[in-house]
Structure 1
């Protein structure tokens, strides 16, 4: 009432409103961010795996997902074993058991039989549609086919144009491809020397030729200039630079390497306890270490030997300084044939 006392006033009501959390304080964005970080981690892990995987490993993975003998039908008796099981020969089976087959054990060829490389190709060609030749890896024929496919040379290798490659066609195509790689390595090596003015004076010290063994690169001493100090195996800086150019030319090739050291006919003094045998071996090893430091894999070296003064470059002048040399041979994987020499 208007004229009432103060006790008749309406009570004060306090209303508390509890608001929800603001949108940017919620946790939904954290889940999305975690998914993004996980995806990025998987992506960079994939990039890393692709970077550290060799071409042979990638080819093996590809072969795993594309087997050489897939079944033409997806199920039933059209499978690889046509509905049969594999058991040990002589095992007991009841009448209700399905037909059984026994896989023959491959025979091991005699070590005394002649082997020029063609037997592996021929036997592999007969089983080219099958699995691996043995537990060590794929057969030479299948590996040769894979190498031709990687180089895009399979169609060129099919000389008969019948869609099938014989062992001879695969071998000749691989020999020709190897020879082309040798020629490309020589071209790159000469370009590398011409590109550096300080190395142009060493061009006369470089002798490159083709041998039945492989591509031979020789670093030869000149009159008034040596690759190593007299009686020592600590090479001069120019020698290391030249070996670095050789390493860059051959580093990407799969062929194995042979390094040989040679000396002239001048002997050490009597009682020195050191001879041209030790000197040539030490220089060959020093060259191997220089090639490894320049990027050649240590696994590629087939042999590192010293020949002392037994194989002169100029037999009529055994004391000539040009007999002192380092011979680096890029060993052939394929025999020389008409295909290797080109048309």
Structure 2
């Protein structure tokens, strides 16, 4: 007799899913926060002006609270003045006060651990004082531009910043407000008025100035090979004449150059109107003395110590050029 087949009952135990603890909520909150931050940054970028963006870029290039020590601005320096014009060439930049390397008194400077020579102390003090005077002049000019009826309408075209050479004032073109006639060195009437006003503002400053003319990269050719180099030079000289008409003494002009399109303000768009500009650099004492040293006959190209130049010996004084006492000017800037 066959036995009945056994009945096998399989019981499936259902296990409830474990509680996830809400970890997904944390991840989702992080994602939402990141998206909010992203759209906030995009909104700020959209409403910021070019000068504000340049200032933010400069902060990230040099976020240190201490004053930078580079002899020339970094490659990313755009604003508000754009790239460095370098109106006064320097053959030995490292010997210029304020150049690369530790400053007197810094913890990393070996000179801070031993007595300093009197000339080094005097040079450091003169540099600090020179910087302070440039800062004061900058604030005075900014306040004067705000309060001047002639300059206030053009304050968006007047850019002021400090460079290793001194205080730079730039008058730039706008899309519908050029400074000069097209392809010409003839100034617009309002440009002449701006230059006259700047000449009156700078008349009381003891510093000399250097001027540079800039064009955009748009090709320009006139008869007899006249191009952007000649045009930028002629515009720089037109600016010089307008400053003199405003009251600036001719002896205060140290250098006038034309740089064509070689130093664009907006490197991303070489043909932008803002690249057409006039740069007026109020030279600090070290740059002024360096310019005279390089321009003097028989100059070797080595940087001259401003303190030594400011206090020459009797023999040096006798051989000094007749065009104004450089020693007295340097002493007046202390």
State the TM-score, normalized to the length of structure 2.
0.49
Larger radius of gyration: 1
More relative contact order, 1 or 2 (CA 8 Å, 6+ apart): 2
What TM-score, normalized to structure 1? 0.47
